[in-house]
């Protein structure tokens, strides 16, 4: 392997790449493969001019995948220096991308790329002079801080095929003529503008509205990157074989026309979950891509259950997936099962054998693994076609035991892509199928069934995450081997969220070993768990949309980013109310014992005074309760809570002043506070506290159970730890049995969401009963982790 890398490195150095670029290229398998192929196609294995080599490197990294059949032609233009500038090469890419696999019109191509066009230095000087005349005032103002790149751009518009080196020389000279020598002021760094004061909350919306940067078309519509169904005749994937042959995946005119006739030219996608577990937030991204693209283009998306493994599927999971897809706001065009196509898949497997592309194999799993590692053919690979047909029929009729035979695709055991190592198409399993019953004892593999069912359902865009990219070769090999319609395959980055795990195996272990309370535990990133926690589907979709659907690497997305979108929505939709988690009794000594005042409290911060529905009543009486953490025996300048001799404002009520403290026998534990209230509200304390009062003398406030949820794991990426279960956060769930709430909370129903003022956003849990309501904390009011704070402490203890 080291020797092979050394040979490739020498090849790259011969075409003029510097050593650093060459070594960096070797670290990227895809670019290495492409560049090696380009060098051989261009017949420059013995080396070439550096300028030519740089253009060849650009071809290897940027050549349009839908026009690969024209690459050898372009390379001859480069080697013969008919195309010799980056501008010409970019024009060639644009022309070939539009031409795709159609016949090349040489005259039009050469005209589009400026082949044979020679631009003299006189012409360049005239063009530069014209640009400088147009931009003179700006150049004189900016002097040597002028954006030279913009000047280049204007010259290029006038003379697209001019030599960029000559253009630079002329521009530099013209600048010197106009401005003279650089002065000391020219070399000074520009003075930075003073940082503006933070925008007040009430003005923030106005500022954002006027100063927000304009979004690109792709940000406004992330689905613009996908081609139309009519374009699916273009070559966009090459499959290289060990015998140096190449499969250029594309549809024939006849196949595409037949497909378009069935679909009416509409986009058809599919969301294909396996019914062996609950869906998680990664599936939310997949739904956004699959259902979203179909909806955007006026097409339809299949909900297809990939039920090829009868041992793992359960009706519970099927029912959950159907229900959660609807909750996420998506409506399937049709619900199907891979098992609906078992007969078609079987008949196509027989055809694959007949065409010499599959064989019955008797290797054990260990033998298959060993032979793949050594890139060796199975001893049964070249058995007669008739023999494989007979044995496959015996497999179907239950005459061969489990593990004694498989049907394998005859692909390419010497390929560089391990997903071409004669993948298994069928195996024997004497297990009844949840959907198909006991009709079958042979079941297709994912690698065999997935692409064929995509074709049978006339899927236009087969979209999946990047870990499936290496399977693209097998996908197209099989469809080509069976002469079936080929969907457009595209992979996007997987969604990884911090402080959690999302592999089904790990999630299943958390649930079955009871580390969590079921698949819908609010600490999990399952969609059922997020919903139970109080997260809305629209917040999840906004989060996914914000991440985008690019092919960038699957980097870790911070949980705080999801929480941001949750807060954004709940801030607008969750009614405010008052709840005290850890009550501390306060007796207001100057308030009449039997008096209960009904005060108005706002459900919304901007509640109009004349809208009664925006207010709710809270009782104010002689006994109120505040948070225990809102009282200290010793005051300090930076503390705005209650302390002996100090005043605070009770939200929506009156200022109170602490006049006495009742302590327990240990002289430290506070049992009760005595206070006086200011009915005239002449005192203006800085601190504002939430509170709950006795609704009538001697009657405790409404008791509710509060569940405070935090990150399930302490590490950002627990999945990479050997002892990932040891990383579980012991404080990920804290239950407060006897919190106090205002009386209006008693009307809350399952699914209702509130902002408990100064505490966070909460939702009614399914464990609630008529005797006692249970609330889950959805998210804190702020990102305490960004501040390094404790998520269990009060937020904003001073003001609201």
- Positions marked active-site: 274, 494, 504
Residues 789 and 791: their CA atoms lie apart, in Å, by: 6
Of 281, 210, 235, nearest to 562 (Cα)? 281
| Beta-sheet pairing, 753-756 with 575-577 | parallel
Structure tokens at 722: 């050997």
Asked if 89 and 58 touch (Cβ cutoff 8 Å), the reply is: yes
Structure tokens at 288: 């956004």
Residues 293 and 509: their CA atoms lie apart, in Å, by: 34
68 has which bridge partners?
Answer: none
Residues 464 and 517: their CA atoms lie apart, in Å, by: 30
Beta-carbon contacts of 109 under 8 Å, excluding residues fewer than 6 positions away, are 92, 95, 96, 99, 115
Beta-carbon contacts of 794 under 8 Å, excluding residues fewer than 6 positions away, are 627, 629, 630, 758, 759
Beta-carbon contacts of 696 under 8 Å, excluding residues fewer than 6 positions away, are 596, 619, 621
Of 658, 650, 651, nearest to 632 (Cα)? 658
Residues 361 and 422: their CA atoms lie apart, in Å, by: 10
Residues 230 and 460: their CA atoms lie apart, in Å, by: 9
Asked if 660 and 643 touch (Cβ cutoff 8 Å), the reply is: no
Asked if 452 and 482 touch (Cβ cutoff 8 Å), the reply is: yes
Asked if 552 and 666 touch (Cβ cutoff 8 Å), the reply is: no
Structure tokens at 698: 């001697």
Residues 409 and 249: their CA atoms lie apart, in Å, by: 18
Q: What are phi and psi of 272, to 5 degrees?
A: -110, 65
Residues 419 and 77: their CA atoms lie apart, in Å, by: 35
Counting Cα atoms < 13 Å in the Cβ hemisphere of 495 gives 26
Give how far the C-alpha of residue 479 lies from the chain's centroid of Cα atoms, to the nearest Å. Answer: 29
DSSP assignment letter at 696: S
| Beta-sheet pairing, 496-497 with 556-557 | parallel
Beta-carbon contacts of 265 under 8 Å, excluding residues fewer than 6 positions away, are 228, 229, 230
Asked if 434 and 307 touch (Cβ cutoff 8 Å), the reply is: yes
For 248-282, give the secondary structure using H, E and C. Answer: EECCCHHHHHHHHHHHCCCCEEEECCCCCCCCEHH
| Beta-sheet pairing, 655-663 with 647-650 | antiparallel
DSSP assignment letter at 625: E
Counting Cα atoms < 13 Å in the Cβ hemisphere of 148 gives 14
Of 216, 222, 387, 200, nearest to 289 (Cα)? 222
Residues 309 and 337: their CA atoms lie apart, in Å, by: 12
In 10 A of CB 745, how many CB atoms? 23
- H/E stretch holding 587: strand 583-588
Asked if 499 and 711 touch (Cβ cutoff 8 Å), the reply is: yes
Q: Which 3 state secondary structure label does DSSP give 228?
A: coil
Residues 232 and 252: their CA atoms lie apart, in Å, by: 9
Asked if 230 and 257 touch (Cβ cutoff 8 Å), the reply is: no
Give how far the C-alpha of residue 379 lies from the chain's centroid of Cα atoms, to the nearest Å. Answer: 44
């Amino acid at each position: 392997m080291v020797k092979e890398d050394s040979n490739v490195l020498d090849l790259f150095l011969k075409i003029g790449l510097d050593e650093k670029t060459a070594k960096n290229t070797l670290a990227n398998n895809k670019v290495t493969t492409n560049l090696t192929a380009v060098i051989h196609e261009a017949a420059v294995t013995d080396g070439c001019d550096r300028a030519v080599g740089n253009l060849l490197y650009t071809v290897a990294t940027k050549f349009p995948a839908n026009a690969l059949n024209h690459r050898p032609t372009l390379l001859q233009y480069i080697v013969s220096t008919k195309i010799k500038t980056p501008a010409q090469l970019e024009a060639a890419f644009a022309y070939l991308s539009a031409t795709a696999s159609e016949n090349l019109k040489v005259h039009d191509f050469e005209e589009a790329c400026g082949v044979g066009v020679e631009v003299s230095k006189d012409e360049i000087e005239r063009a530069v002079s014209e640009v400088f005349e147009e931009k003179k005032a700006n150049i004189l103002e900016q002097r040597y801080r002028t954006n030279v790149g913009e000047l280049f751009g204007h010259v290029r518009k006038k003379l697209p095929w001019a030599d960029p080196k000559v253009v630079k020389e002329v521009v530099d000279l013209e600048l010197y003529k106009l401005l003279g020598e650089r002065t000391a002021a020219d070399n000074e760094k520009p003075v930075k503008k003073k940082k503006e004061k933070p925008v007040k909350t009430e003005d923030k919306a106005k500022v954002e509205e006027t100063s927000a940067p304009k979004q690109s078309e792709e940000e406004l519509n992330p689905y613009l990157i996908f081609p139309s169904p009519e374009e699916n005749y273009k070559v966009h994937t090459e499959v290289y074989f060990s015998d140096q042959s190449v499969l250029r995946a594309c549809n024939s005119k006849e196949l595409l026309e037949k497909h378009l006739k069935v679909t009416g030219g509409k986009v058809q996608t599919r969301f294909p979950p396996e019914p062996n577990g609950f869906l998680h937030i990664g599936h939310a991204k997949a739904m956004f891509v699959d259902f979203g693209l179909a909806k955007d283009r006026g097409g339809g998306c299949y909900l297809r259950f990939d039920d090829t493994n009868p041992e793992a599927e359960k009706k519970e999971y099927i029912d959950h997936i159907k229900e959660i897809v609807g909750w996420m706001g998506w409506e399937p065009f049709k619900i199907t099962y891979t098992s609906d196509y078992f007969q078609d898949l079987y008949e196509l497997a027989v055809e694959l054998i007949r065409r010499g592309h599959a064989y019955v194999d008797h290797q054990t799993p260990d033998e298959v693994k060993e032979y793949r590692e050594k890139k060796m053919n199975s001893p049964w690979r070249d058995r007669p076609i008739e023999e494989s047909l007979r044995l496959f029929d015996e497999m179907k009729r239950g005459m061969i035991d489990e593990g004694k035979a498989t049907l394998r695709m005859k692909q390419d055991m010497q390929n560089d892509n391990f997903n071409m190592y004669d993948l298994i198409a069928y195996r024997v399993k004497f297990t009844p199928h949840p959907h198909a019953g006991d009709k079958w004892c042979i079941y297709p593999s994912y690698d065999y069934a997935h692409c064929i069912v995509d074709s049978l359902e006339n899927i236009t865009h087969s979209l999946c995450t990047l870990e499936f990219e290496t399977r693209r070769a097998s996908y197209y090999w099989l469809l080509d081997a069976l002469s079936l319609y080929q969907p457009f395959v595209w992979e996007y980055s997987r969604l990884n969220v911090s402080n959690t795990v999302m592999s089904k195996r790990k999630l299943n272990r958390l649930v079955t070993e009871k580390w969590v309370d079921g698949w819908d535990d609010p600490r999990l990133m399952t969609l059922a768990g997020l919903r139970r926690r109080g997260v809305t589907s629209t917040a999840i979709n906004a989060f996914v949309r914000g991440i985008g659907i690019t092919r960038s690497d699957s980097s870790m997305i911070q949980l705080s980013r999801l929480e941001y979108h949750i807060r954004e929505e709940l801030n607008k939709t969750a009614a405010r109310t008052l709840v005290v988690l850890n009550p501390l009794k306060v007796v207001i000594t100057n308030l009449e014992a039997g008096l209960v005042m009904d005060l108005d409290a706002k459900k919304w911060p901007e509640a109009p005074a004349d809208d009664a529905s925006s207010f709710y009543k809270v009782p104010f009486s002689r006994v109120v309760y505040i948070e225990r953490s809102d009282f200290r025996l010793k005051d300090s300048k930076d503390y705005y809570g209650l302390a002996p001799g100090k005043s605070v404002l009770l939200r929506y009520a009156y200022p109170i002043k602490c006049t006495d403290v009742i302590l327990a026998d240990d002289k430290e534990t506070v049992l009760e506070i005595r206070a006086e209230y200011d009915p005239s509200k002449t005192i203006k304390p800085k601190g504002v506290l939430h509170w709950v009062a006795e609704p009538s003398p001697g009657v405790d406030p409404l008791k509710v159970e509060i569940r405070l949820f935090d990150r399930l794991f302490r590490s950002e990426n627990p999945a990479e730890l050997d002892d990932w279960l040891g990383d579980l956060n012991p404080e990920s769930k804290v239950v407060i049995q006897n919190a106090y709430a205002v009386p209006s909370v008693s009307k809350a129903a399952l699914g209702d969401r509130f902002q408990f003022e100064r505490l966070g956003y909460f939702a009614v849990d399914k464990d609630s009963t008529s005797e006692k309501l249970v609330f889950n904390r959805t998210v804190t009011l702020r990102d305490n982790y960004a501040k390094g704070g404790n998520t269990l402490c009060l937020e904003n203890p001073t003001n609201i």
